[in-house]
Each structure stands twice: as structure tokens, then as C-alpha cells.
Amino acid sequence: MSGALQGLAAMLAEQPPTLAQRKRFLARPTASLTRELMRYLRRFFYFADRIDDLEASLSELEQADYAPSPLVTGDDLTDAGLKPGPRFKVALDQTYDAQLEGRVTSRKEAIEMAIGIAKGGPA
């Protein structure tokens, strides 16, 4: 239940979820329960416009590969000579978000982006 409520909070936060956030949401095991909660809220006119927009978007995203395998992994970063540390997760998460949003489309681009972020580039 906590996963469903966390998903609900993310989907109904003040800032609408990005494309990457919506795709990551769909990949969560609790997505269907969260969507059921959203539909329940919608019946009582809570967040009606937001929920209508989200349902349309999520239904469309479900028709595609919303959770592809990441183009870059931590092994790629260590192979590039970097030592694991706190920036690894940031680099991998941001690079995967870029992949989900279509800003990174090749393994080479993904590795370059992740290395840049891991080395202290834009976070």
C-alpha cells in the first residue's frame, strides 16, 4: 500500500510528472493500484483534470516500451576508469531519464553523458 500511495503522491504532486517519471511510474509493481486510487479520487472530482490527462498519457505510454533496458550501467562507468561513489546513482538515473525521454538514443551517447555527470558535470 505504501508503494501505491508514494506513486499517487508523485503523480499528483504540484509539478506534473515528466515523461521519464511517468514511464518509471508505469514500471512500478504498484502502478495499477495507484491508478485505481486515482480513478477513485476522480469519481469525487478530486484532481479531475490532472487525472484525466494522466490516464490518457499513461494509456498511450503503455502501448510502447516504457521500461527499456538502460543503455549504460555502473559496469560501463567502472570500465571507463571511474570509481563507484555517490555520483554513480545520480549519473545512471539522469542518463536513464534522458534515455526514457529520447534525449539519449545510443549507447555511446549514454556512456558519454553518464561519465560527464559522474565526473561532476551537470546534475
H or E segment and range at residue 4: helix 2-11
Task: Answer yes or no: do 40 and 84 share one domain.
Answer: no
Q: Which pTM value belongs to this model?
A: 0.87
Owning domain of residue 41: 2-61
Q: Give how many domains the chain has, as a whole number.
A: 2
Last residue of a domain, one of 38, 61, 84: 61
Residue 15 resides in a domain = yes
Distances (CA, A) of 121 to 68, 90, 116: 25, 11, 5
Model pLDDT, residue 10: 95
Last residue of a domain, one of 34, 61, 88: 61
Q: What is the pLDDT along the chain (123 residues), one digit of tens a residue?
A: 899 999 999 999 999 999 999 999 999 999 999 999 999 999 998 899 999 999 999 999 999 999 999 999 999 999 999 989 888 999 999 999 999 999 999 999 999 999 999 988 665
Task: Answer yes or no: do 57 and 80 share one domain.
Answer: no
Task: Answer yes or no: do 102 and 55 share one domain.
Answer: no
Residue 19 resides in a domain = yes
Last residue of a domain, one of 61, 89, 110: 61
Task: Answer yes or no: do 57 and 81 share one domain.
Answer: no
Residue 106 exposed, middle or buried by CB count within 10 Å (0-12, 13-18, 19+):
exposed
